[in-house]
Amino acid sequence: AQSVAQPEDQVNVAEGNPLTVKCTYSVSGNPYLFWYVQYPNRGLQFLLKYITGDNLVKGSYGFEAEFNKSQTSFHLKKPSALVSDSALYFCAVRDLSSNDYKLSFGAGTTVTVRA
Amino acid sequence: SQTIHQWPATLVQPVGSPLSLECTVEGTSNPNLYWYRQAAGRGLQLLFYSVGIGQISSEVPQNLSASRPQDRQFILSSKKLLLSDSGFYLCAWSGTGNEQFFGPGTRLTVL
């Protein structure tokens, strides 16, 4: 079984401050992990993924995420947030031991960056 | 490069009417295809996925069905819509890289 938890429904930060969106996962085997962003009335956009290798993954729009196996976490970070980063963010996981390509998504975290 | 299209973008339908939403992918072959529903701008619910032509797996028993008549075409249907079918419907595809790429979505309102 695979699942993802995003413990915060909402994150509010000031422009220019660091942004962190939390994600923890649960899998039987090893995880593939993903972050997506969704703007209002739009589809999800892929930001970054962790498959293997370096625990720090860099993605689109200046975002990065750190894989922590001991804490089963994959938090999304941005050193300096922009107002345009305000959106809904989803974490997703796929268990490598599964036989299908389905992803399990978290419930989403709404990020608001104030000017 | 690959692109994914969905239409229509918005749809308002009366209860009891039929539904057909279409999704097509360009620039790739034999993709895995997925239909999701998103209610109230929050979590995603996987409805159907397909690993090949004519191969459909249903995740949640409900009023909807899916078909894949061609390699890069995925259709979501209903014979009679319910009020609870309202939502934002997203199609996605994936290849060997495991990440899924989403279409622009269809906003369905059932009145």
Q: Mean pLDDT in chain A?
A: 95
Residue A27 burial (C-beta neighbours within 10 Å; 0-12, 13-18, 19+): buried
Q: A64 and A57 in contact (C-beta within 8 Å)? A: yes
> What are A61's two structure tokens?
């729009």
Q: Do A103 and B104 touch (CB under 8 A)?
A: no
Give dist(CA A44, CA B3) in Å, integer: 13
Residue found under tokens 């934002």: B88
| Residues of B whose CB is below 8 A from A35 | none
Compute the count of residue pairs across chains A and B with CB atoms less than 8 Å apart: 55
Measured over the CA atoms of residue A44, residue A105, residue B99 and residue B96, the dihedral's sign is: negative
pLDDT top residue among A6 and A100? A6
Q: Mean pLDDT in chain B?
A: 93
User: How many angstroms separate the CA of residue A37 from the nearest CA in chain B?
Assistant: 11
User: How many angstroms separate the CA of residue B17 from the nearest CA in chain A?
Assistant: 24
User: How many angstroms separate the CA of residue B94 from the nearest CA in chain A?
Assistant: 8
Numbered residues of chain A with Cβ closer than 8 Å to any chain B Cβ: 32, 34, 36, 40-46, 49, 51, 88, 90, 92, 94, 100-103, 105-108
Q: Give the pLDDT band of residue B40 (cuts 50, 70, 90).
A: confident
| Residues of B whose CB is below 8 A from A32 | 98
A106-to-A34, B54, B57, B60 alpha-carbon distances in Å? 11, 29, 21, 18
Closest CA to B89 of A65, A82, A43, A104: A43
pLDDT computed for residue A74 by the predictor: 98
How many degrees, rounded to 5, is the angle at CA B103 between CA B99 and CA B106? 140
> Is B41's pLDDT higher than 80?
no
CA atoms within 13 A on the CB side of B42: 7
> What are A86's two structure tokens?
């305000």
pLDDT computed for residue B98 by the predictor: 83
Q: A6 and A91 in contact (C-beta within 8 Å)? A: yes
Q: Give the pLDDT band of residue A26 (cuts 50, 70, 90).
A: very high
Q: Do A102 and B46 touch (CB under 8 A)?
A: yes
